[in-house]
Amino acid sequence: MTKNKIIIDENKKYSERYALASQRISSIYNELSNGVSILDNEALTNYFRKVSHFMKQIDETYNLVSSGAIDKFTTMQLHHLNYELYEDIANNNYLNSYSNPDYAIQSLGNEFGKYLCVLYTELRSNIAYAFEERLLYLTISSELFIEIYNLFEDKKCTAEQIHSALYYYFFDYSDIMTYDRTRSLLDTHMSFATDIIMNSDLSNPRYLYLFGEYISDNEYATSEYLSSLSNDAIKNMASTYTEGFKKGFEAYRIDLSHKKSVNIRYTLGFERIIKQAILQFKEIGLSPCIYRAGLSLIHRSARGKIGFYGGSASRQYDYDHRMDEALIFDKAYADRKLSQQRAAYENMKQLATEYAGPACLETFGETDFVPIEKSTAVRFNEQQQKQKLEYQASSSLLTNEFIPSDKVSFTIIAYPIPEIGKDYKAIFNETVKVNTLDSALYEKIQTCLIDTLDKGDYVTIKGFNGNMTELKIALTPINNPDKETKFENCLADVNIPLGEVFTSPTLKGTEGLLHSPEIYLNGLKYIDLKLYFKDGIITKYSCGNFENEDENNKYIHENLLYQHDTLPIGEFAIGTNTTAYMMGRKYNISHLLPILIAEKTGPHFAIGDTCFSHEEDMPTYNPDGKEMKAKENDYSKLRDTDIMHAYFNCHTDITIPYNELKSITVHNKDGETTDIILDGRFVLNGTEELNKPLEHV
C-alpha cells in the first residue's frame, strides 16, 4: 500500500467511482467476448474488446500494487508483467496495434479511426498511473472509455460526438491535470520516484519494474553496471553533477540559500547516481522533485521527454503521437489551460519561490532512428500551429512570472547507455573523463580565444571535407574591452562537460549557409541539412531525408523549426573539448553523441532563442571579471515592448565537427584577420594544448 498520504486521501474520493467503472469495463469485455454486445460492426467489436481487455490488465496491475502483492514478485515475474503491459506496441507488434494510426484507420475507417487511435494511446498512460496508484486518473479515463463505448452502442453515433467527448474530457479536467502537473514540479511530497530510489535495494535491478515504465535492456544493464562500481566512483559522478548545479548559482551570482527544491530529470537505470545526488543536494538544503515525463496528450511534447522515463517500446509510436493534442486543440482549450496554470502557480506561489531549477542527467547511444512520416498521424493545421505557438509563448511567460529565470539555475550531464555497443564500459569511463577535465587549464585557454574574438567585428566559418558551410557571424560591439566581453567562458558548471566560448550574434550582417552532411538533432537524423541565413534569420531550408521535397521541408518545419515560419541564430560558439571529439572518433560514436557533448566538439550555431532567454538583464561575468554584454538580439530586445514576439521557446545547437571545418577567422574593423582554426586544428597562440588529443587522428 502506498505510504504517500496525498495519494491515500485522493484515492478515498475516487474509490467508489473507480469500482463502478472497472466493473462496467469488465462487463463490456465479457459482452464483446461472448457476442452479446449490440455493436453490429465487427471492426468496432474487435477494437473495444482489445481495449477493454487492456483496461482489465490495468485494473489487475493496480490491485497487485495497492495490495502489496507485487512486492513478492520475482524479477522474472516483474519482467513478464512489464512485457505484457507494453507488448502491444513493442517491436513489430506496433504494426498491428490500434495505437498505430495507419492500422487504426485501415481497420476502423477514416471517420472514427484517428479518434479511437488517440483514445487508446491516452488509455495506455494508465500503466504508469496503476503503479502510482492514482485512482483519479484511472477513474476519469475509464469513464471516458465507457462514455465513448456507449456512444457507439447508439447506431447513429457520429465522429462529431466522439470528438466532442474527447474534447470536453481534456477541457473539463484540465484544471486537475494542470494543477497536478505543476504540483509534481514544485512539491517534494509528490515522492513516488524518490521513494523507490531511496528505499529500494539498488543492487538488484528488479526495482526498475516498479516505476511502471517500459524497461528495456538499456535500463536493466545500466543498473547492473552501476551496481558493479565502487561507492567512491558513484559519489564522484554524483558530485560532478551536484557541484555543477551549485557552480551555476555561483557563476550567475544567484542566492541559493533560500531555495528548498531541485527537479531531478533522468533516464531509469541511473538510480545509484541519483540516490547519491539526492543525499548531496540535501546537504545544501535541497529536496528532490522527480516527476514522470508527460504521458497524457495534454502534457506530451513534440520536443522530447522532460522528467524521468524508461525505455521506448517503440520510437515510431512516440513519434506518431507527439502531436495528438492537435485532435482537440483550439483557442478556448488553450486559454483554459493558461488560466488553470496561473491558478496552480498562484496556489503554490511559495513553492515556486523555493524552486532552484532542474538538474538533468541525459543519455546517449541509441541506434539510428529515421521515423516514418505518416499522413494518418495527427498534426496541427496552420491555424492550430499559430494558436499553439501563442499558447507556448504565453505559458513560458507565465512560468517566468512565478519562477523567474534569473532566480534559478540548472545543470546537465550525459552518460552512454549499453546500446552504444561492445565498448560500452570503455566509453562510459571515457565519458567520466570528459566530464571531469581540468577547469583551470580550459579557463586559461578559452580566455586566449575570447581576447582575440573580442577584437573582432565579425567571424567567418568555412567547412570542407563535404561540408559546404560558409557563414559570416556579426559580433556585438562592446564599449570597454578592459571590463566587457562578447563571449562567455563556459566551464564545468551548468553545462557539463566544459569546453566552449559562446555569444549571441548580432542578426544584421549575419548571413550565409550552414550545412551538415549528416547530423542527429533531438534524437532525429538529418541528411544533407542546409539552412540559409540573411540578417540572422533562416530564409530557406532543405534536407535529403525523403525523396519528396515537401516531406523534407515539413520534417524540418515540424521538428527543427517547431512550426515557426523562421528562426534566428541565437548562439554562435566555438567548442574546445577535443578530448570529447576524439572519444567520438576513437569509438566511431560521433553521430551518437548528444548535443550536450557534440556542441563542444567544434563550432556550433543555435537556432531559436539566445542562451540568455529571460535573463538578459541579469549581469554575468567571466572568471577574469569581465561582464558579458552580448546577451540579446533584435527579437529579445522586444521583451519590454512586445514580449509575445521576443522569444521562440526553443534552442537547438547544430555543430560542425573539426574534421569538416576548414577555418574560423576573426575579422577586425581595420581589415586585419586572425585565424583561430585552420584545417581542423587550433592555430591561435595559447590554444596549442587543444591539439594534443587530435594528434592520433
The set of cell numbers assigned to 460 is: 567567418
CB neighbours (10 Å) of residue 672? Answer: 11
Q: Which three cell numbers stand for residue 6?
A: 496525498
Q: Nearest Cα to 264, choosing from 361, 148, 177, 183? A: 361
SS3 content of the chain, % helix, strand, coil (to 5): 50, 15, 30
State the average pLDDT over residues 276-300.
Answer: 97
Q: What is the per-residue pLDDT across 290-340, written as a single tens digit (0 to 9) for each?
A: 999 999 999 998 888 999 999 999 999 999 999 999 999 999 999 999 999
| 3 state DSSP class of 83 | helix
Distance CA 321, CA 433 (A): 38
Tens of pLDDT, residue by residue over 103-125, are 999 999 999 999 999 999 999 99
Supply 98's cell numbers.
490500434
Residue 203 has pLDDT above 80, yes or no: yes
Q: Is the pLDDT confidence value at 15 over 50?
A: yes
Q: Are 617 and 573 in contact (CB under 8 A)?
A: no
244 and 220 in contact (C-beta within 8 Å)? no
The predicted model gives 5-34 an average pLDDT of: 93
Cell reading at 297: 496528450
**SS3 of residue 408 by DSSP:** coil
Across the range 155-164, mean pLDDT stands at: 92
Give CA separation, 342 vs 11, 295, 397, in Å: 26, 21, 11
Supply 685's cell numbers: 597562440
- 148 exposed, middle or buried (CB, 10 Å; 0-12, 13-18, 19+)? buried
At 418, the pLDDT band (50, 70, 90 cuts) reads very high
What is the average pLDDT across 655-677?
95
Which residues are CB-contacts of 127 (< 8 A; sequence separation ≥ 6)?
58, 61, 85, 86, 212
Contact in structure between 70 and 64 (CB atoms under 8 Å)? yes
For residue 697, the model assigns a pLDDT of 62
Instruction: Return the HEC string of 19-79.
Output: HHHHHHHHHHHHHHHHCCCCCCCHHHHHHHHHHHHHHHHHHHHHHHHHHCHHHHCCHHHHH
Question: Domain limits of the chain?
Answer: 5-182, 192-412, 437-696
Task: Please report, rounded to a whole number, the percentage of residues in the chain having pLDDT higher than 90.
Answer: 89
Whether the predicted pLDDT of 37 surpasses 90: no
CA distances from 396 to 336, 341, 344, 351, 571 (A): 15, 11, 14, 18, 20
H-only helix segments in 187-230: 192-199, 217-227
Average pLDDT over all residues of the chain: 94
Alpha-helical (H) ranges within 563-689 are 578-586, 595-598
Q: 388-391 — which CB contacts under 8 Å span 24+ positions? A: 388/326, 388/329, 388/334, 388/563, 389/563, 389/564, 390/334, 390/644, 391/334, 391/337, 391/338
Cα–Cα distance measured from residue 321 to residue 303, given in angstroms and rounded to the nearest whole number:
12
Q: Strand order of the sheet with strand 458-463? A: 537-542, 524-534, 506-521, 470-474, 458-463, 661-667, 673-678, 681-682
- Which range (40-44, 199-203, 677-681) has the least confidence? 40-44
Max Cα–Cα distance, the chain, nearest Å: 88
Secondary structure of residue 676 in the 3-state scheme: strand
| Cβ neighbours for 199, distance < 8 A, ≥ 6 positions apart | none
Q: Residue holding cell 531531478?
A: 264
Q: What pLDDT is stored for residue 3 in this prediction?
A: 66
Q: How far apart are CA 652 and CA 76, in angstroms?
A: 41
Residues 6+ apart with CB under 8 A from 508: 474, 535, 536, 634
- Nearest-5° angle of CA 275, CA 279, CA 281? 110
pLDDT the model gives residue 139: 98
Give the model confidence (pLDDT) of 437-458 as tens digits. Answer: 999 999 999 999 999 999 999 9
- Which three three-digit cell numbers place residue 140? 476519469
Is it the case that residue 236 has pLDDT exceeding 50?
A: yes
pLDDT digits (tens, 9 = 90+) for 512-571: 999 999 998 887 899 999 999 999 999 999 999 999 999 999 999 999 999 999 999 999
Asked, as a colleague might, if the bond just before 497 is cis with ω within 30 of 0, I would say yes
- Compute, in degrees rounded to 10, the torsion defined by CA atoms 64, 69, 74, 78: 10
Grid coordinates representing 573 are 560558439
Name the pLDDT band for 1 (thresholds 50, 70, 90).
Answer: very low
Task: Report which of residues 75 and 6 the model is more confident about.
Answer: 75
Please report, in angstroms and rounded to a whole number, the separation of the first and last CA atoms in the chain: 58
Residue linked to cell 551549485: 246
